[in-house]
Chains A and B, each alone.
Chain A
Amino acid sequence: MIAAAPMEETVKREFEELFREHFQFVYCTAYTVTGSSQDAEDVIQTVFMKLLQQHFLLRARDNPKPYLYRAAINASLNIIRSRKRLDLTSDFDRFDTLRGDGPFAPGDAAASSLVKAMSQLNPLAVEILVLRYEHNYSDAQIAKMLGKSRGTIAVTLYRARKRLKRLLQTELGDKL
């Protein structure tokens, strides 16, 4: 193996604990926004490496979850926006874990357009939507997590759904 000095053991242990505690939350968040396992894994690398690089950011030390969540949303949106020209519809087979209990089969145009439309929202709206629909948070929990008032969450959620609907109608027309 490479002949580099070993990481300081305590730092490594601390990092591993933090990683294992928050991995699933960050991964699921990234997967919901990007719709791709590969992209979700890239987001994991980005988010946690940044944390490691900056020796556990001061603001992330005490309460890492909100920091990691925001970083995951931003990194996911960056990935989606960086491949603007990629037609997600044609790549939709990658969405291998769509909810099985809903009316949308994998490959559904509405669902694929939804992911595309999400990337056009502002990051706060995406954060709120993912917390609500992927992680099943209530408005109060979302407000606490993001440090916003419940009113802000409710209004943002309302506007986000409205904008999404408009974007999807433009995309899908009568299908929605």
Chain B
Amino acid sequence: MTTLNRAAWRLATFLAAGLMAGPLRGAEPVSPPVVEYTIQASLDPVTHTVEGEERLVWRNPSGDAVRELQFHLYLNAFKNNRSTFLRESGGQLRGDRAGTRPEDWGWIDVSSVKTDAGVDLKPSLRFLQPDGNDPDDQTVVAVSLPAAVAPHGEIALRIAFRSKLPRVFARTGYVRDFHLAGQWFPKIGVYEPAGMRGRARGGWNCHAFHANSEFYADYGRYDVTLTIPASFVVGATGKLVSEAKRGDRAIYHYSADNVHDFAWTADPRYRVHEFRFDPSVDVPPGWTDLAARQLGMAPTELALKPVSVRLLLQPDHARARGRYIQSTKAALSFYGLWFGAYPYETLTVVDPPEDGQGAGGMEYPTFITGDAPAFLLRWPFERVRFVEDVTIHEFGHQYWYGMVGSNEFEESWLDEGLNTDSEYRAMELAYGPRVIDLPGGIGADMYSIAHGSYSSLPNLDPIRRHAWGYASGASYGVNSYMKVGLFMAQLRNDLGVETFARAQRAYFQQWSFRHPTTSDFFDVFERVSGRDLSIYRRNLVEGTARLDWSVVSAKTDEAPKDSGVFDRTSGRVTYEKGRPVLPKEVKEKKDRSDEKKMFESVVLFGNRGEWAHGARARLVFEDGKVVDRVLPAEARWVRLRVRYGSKLAWAAVDPDRTNVWEWNRGNDSIVLGRGKGAADTAGGRAAAKYFAKAAYFIGLFVQAAWALA
């Protein structure tokens, strides 16, 4: 879209916003769906392979005649060390390493592709490297059609495949008898018509599987039958329609509508805990009213639906049971109230084993995997809210990615980042400001952790970038997650909590079951807020601008007394060091009790960052007086000069820390002295205390070395 078109679109939407009344109507799923999968699959837990047959109905959403179909074969990322995924990741992801034994590799083979009419398409099957990536990568395949699929027409294919799950290290795979099957079947890409997501021409959006990318697919219907040894406990996306036994095998039939993926798990060790989310009792007190206030809606408009939840827990993680349940209910409450009721009837929460945590912390429609390392379940680390945080985050993906189906390859911030922001808010509401709260006062809140991550990263990438285009895995992670959390918090502080909440709900409602882009996000926020947010988009999302207001210098001295010739109302007076020079015959009164010492305080504030954004300045004097001033956005620096009867104790910029985007807090204040009330700071004591603490820890370290001697 050209700049002119975009400006026109923005003007039109501003005008339309004035005419629109009432909440936006939510988006409805496309019907009939673009894709319909009917899959029969059978697991061999000894070889960790899945034999599958898939019938896929694909409906052409465009006005184009489509002559080929493109599929993701994600499992081929684990086939060998020349795949794009393994070359980019170096064989590790999120701290887990790939196995190197022959049985540790994973792959997917398509043995047959035919149309419903029996036309064999396998000869035309060829691998693609759509991102100019490694020529040996086999995660994208194309099939040419003997006849094009007509505009808005459909085609049905029968695909036979064999999937070998890898030893789990990157979301999907096995360890011992634990199996987590994600991205395990041939999955058709997304054909985007012209105009969708800003495309000039229609075409396939089917990227290779990169180390730092996730997934993108059309909404549809999944009808999946799994044949698994009867001793295994099974969980999957969607609703269990039927369950039957045949000898030593069990057959599970699952069905899911309005989803864009299907995952499942099987492990004989799972302990099943089923519970129900009942909104009438499980929504924490006060949340409904708070959400209603922020959204400007009546509490009755925020009704939630009951959900049947199935928790599949490892036997040695029994301590995590209550934490999983409580955090799942908190997540259902928060996301439902602030964005919209969770529309599905079921949710499955999977707890991977200790040696299978590569599968943990992952999201699929109506199916999430948590993470509960054993050491975090015991004192003192049980006070680290890791289990809760992962559960809430992964559930949140039911909204950002699950229902709002942004392209995780190209705009990872729209799902990971928005969800990170939601996760922070939900965690704060449910558990208080600190997610880490160890004995001795050691702890941190989510925003501090995000700030630490953001400020320690070389500022090489903007938030919005193709997932594989970041300078490093760390850059992908920080830009997609934490930095967006800070951006959203900054936006919320600037727009106001209520406006932000309404805008975000409107974005969710409008783009549910669709594929929005960055432009769509800003369009909704601008429409609801009535503000031009291009400066945020340009600087914070698509740029690398930092904000760094600082107290450059501060000093306070006795104010110079008047000296020289002054024209007062009473006439011309000559002063010498503050006292009028009188004729010699006039004796001077000695009483100077009403002479008060005055001090001149000069503070220079400067914005060392690239983003022009205002801040609040605060000067606190030793007698406790507080003076606040606004530092305007357009100013690069501001010098404040105050003449007052007390010395300056300290000066600070953004003392309440509403500028969440601020890059460096270390230069946000200067302390000159101490005093009463607000001027009473403990910095000197702090320096001494923490120096002693550092020496003490070093002393313990020295004494630990004695164990050798």
- Do chains A and B interact in one complex? no
B binding-site residues for A, Cβ under 8 Å? none
A binding-site residues for B, Cβ under 8 Å? none
